[in-house]
Amino acid sequence: MNPSNHKKEGSPEPMDRKVYADNAATTAVSPQVLESMLPFYREIYGNPSSLYSLGQAARAPLEEARATVAQALGAKPNEIYFTSCGTESDNWAIKSAAKAGLKKGKNHIVTTAFEHHAVLHTCQALEKEGFTVTYLPVHRNGIVSAQEVEAALTDRTALVTIMYANNEIGTLQPIPEIGAVCRQHGVLFHTDAVQAVGQVEIDVKAQNIDMLSLSGHKLHAPKGIGALYVRSGVVLPNFLDGGAQERGKRGGTENVASIVGLATAIREACSTIAQRQARLIPMRDRLIAGLSKIDRSHLNGDPEKRLPGNVSFCFEGVEGESMLLLLDLNGISASSGSACTSGSLDPSHVLLAIGLPHEVAHGSLRLSLGDYNTEADVDYILEVLPPIIDRLRSMSPLWERIQKGELVYHLD
Ligand code: PLP
């Protein structure tokens, strides 16, 4: 089944169409992933720590899953820790590095202004404990340079944490270069690769990554499972004190079914990166080209150094939430960088970090394409979205002022 399109046979009505274009928010669990998980609910339900055969039957797949995840990242199995989500992996990595740094008199962290809140709020919590955090600007193209990272390092820097790919605007950071700079200066380097795994080639050794966070639900595994890679030799305090699971660092009976599902998903995603890119990039670029034709529309982030499926735009004189609601009425699931789930009326910190004025950031739209999207989905979005924007603008006092030239934004 293609979850993105539930169009009834022979029915041309647009309202029947469903286009799921929010794969950066989460993805559908794939049939292969689900199949691989089911035995661990039905037959192989033993506790992997139990010595009898039903327990040991769950232990072997758990360790095989660890090896699979490690292999996909170019790591060793004993460098992989299973967690409950990307947020947990980020917290564990950053707080561990901070704690280890403090023991050596290092209390400075370098990050960027447009990280996911899992990183930003962790850094802010550490600031309250006395850490100094440098939030590097990411410029209009949504990219930070390795030179800027290097310039921010001091002899008190304990950690550099910079995301591999941004979740809103999809921009890819120069991770290998940043990794090289950090290694050269002997500073730990963590990357939040939640959006990047399975989309771009990652090799933690070649790219000098000391710690990496990932999350299952972005790549067709279930929600509630993630992993943290930690290079052997890096000090990692316990996350959960308890039993001997995860080499004693994260107690708690393992979520075997989800761990196996994560491994299935990563094996599938990481062995088909080239095919995924070859399929998604032309679809992404066609969508970008089509939406660029809309008057006063602006692509957010670098046109090329971005995730294969990410399309992020701002439309002047349009309110993001209204756009999402009208898209939803037409069967299209998308997301906006403004207001968002927090219920706050502030525009997204990511869009502000790339220098967009508040009013423009409020008119943002993220379409994130994935494995189940088709060219027909792109056609449908290009058919439905422009009239929605026209309709919203016809009701917008802001748009009237923009058209009269009373409000001018210099963005491109
Ligand atoms: N980091 C990034 C870049 C993300 O996009 C997300 C989720 O949207 C997370 C971290 C958090 O992952 P999880 O939902 O698994 O906690």
Determine if the pTM surpasses 0.85: yes
Reported as a single tens digit per residue, the pLDDT across 68-119 is: 999 999 999 999 999 999 999 999 999 999 999 999 999 999 999 999 999 9
pLDDT exceeds 80 at position 24: yes
Angle at 296 between CA 290 and CA 348, to 5 degrees: 95
Of 23, 27, 87, the residue with max ligand 1 atoms within 8 A of its CB, to mutate for a pocket test, comes to 87
Which helix (H) or strand (E) element contains residue 301? none
- Ligand 1 atom closest to Cα of 115? 3
Q: What is the CA radius of gyration of the chain?
A: 22
Reported as a single tens digit per residue, the pLDDT across 172-202 is: 999 999 999 999 999 999 999 999 999 999 9
CA of 198 to the centre of ligand 1 (A): 15
Angle at 153 between CA 147 and CA 154, to 5 degrees: 145
How does the average pLDDT of the chain come out, rounded? 94
First to last CA, the chain: 41
Alpha-helical regions (H) of 208-305: 256-270, 273-292
Q: What is the pLDDT of residue 13?
A: 52
CA of 116 to the centre of ligand 1 (A): 7
CA of 393 to the centre of ligand 1 (A): 33
Reported as a single tens digit per residue, the pLDDT across 288-300 is: 999 999 999 999 9
> Is 123 an annotated catalytic residue?
no
Q: How many CA atoms lie within 13 A of 257 on its CB side?
A: 16
Alpha-helical regions (H) of 104-248: 117-128, 146-152, 175-185
Question: In angstroms, what CA-CA distances link 267 with 69, 127, 207, 275?
Answer: 7, 38, 20, 14
Contact (Cβ atoms closer than 8 angstroms) between residue 208 and residue 179: yes
